[in-house]
Amino acid sequence: MVFSIKEVCFPGFKNLRQVEGSSPANMSPKFPRCLEILNQIGDRRIEKVLEAVFSREKNAYLYDEKEYNQRIEELKVRIEHRHEIYKELKKHGIDSVFDECLLELKAAEKVDFEEMGWLIRRSYAASLHAADKERIVKKLRKF
């Protein structure tokens, strides 16, 4: 059974024609966001509106995943660069001046690894959410 968005947003829409002087424009909608999306996509069917909503969410999660992965790559480069500096300082000998620098580099590297772990977890979660939304969109397309 296919429902139009007006039937969902305006209960008793079919009975409105029988009542003189009343129209959906005079009634406040039950779901104003659905009506907004209906106007954007140009389709009145509720399954198409829901498909548009979940497609947008899926695309947002995919974009988040891409951003997380880009940030992870930046962190990898920064960690590698710091590690090279650390090796050079170690190579030239340990001096009291270098001790403080080495400790700072190690602390910064630890913070970067913690941030990378967090970003990897967020990227994975975003990919799972995107897969869930894609599964819902596929079900709606079959509907």
Answer whether residue 33 shows pLDDT above 50. Answer: yes
Give the Cα separation of 136 and 100 in Å (integer).
Answer: 54
- Whether the model clears a pTM of 0.85, i.e. scores above it, the answer is no
Answer whether residue 19 shows pLDDT above 50. Answer: no
Give the pLDDT confidence of 84-140 residue by residue, as tens digits.
Answer: 888 887 787 666 777 777 888 889 999 999 999 999 999 999 999 999 999 999 998
Q: Which long-range contacts (CB under 8 A, 24 or more apart) does 130-139 make?
A: 130/58, 130/61, 130/62, 130/65, 133/54, 133/55, 133/57, 133/58, 133/61, 134/58, 136/54, 137/51, 137/54, 137/55, 137/58
| Phi, psi values for residue 10, rounded to 5° | -120, 95
Q: What percent of the chain has pLDDT over 90?
A: 38
**Average pLDDT estimate for 67-88:** 92
**Average pLDDT estimate for 55-69:** 94
Write down the mean pLDDT value for the chain: 79
**Average pLDDT estimate for 40-59:** 85
Answer whether residue 53 shows pLDDT above 80. Answer: yes
pLDDT, residue 94, reads 65
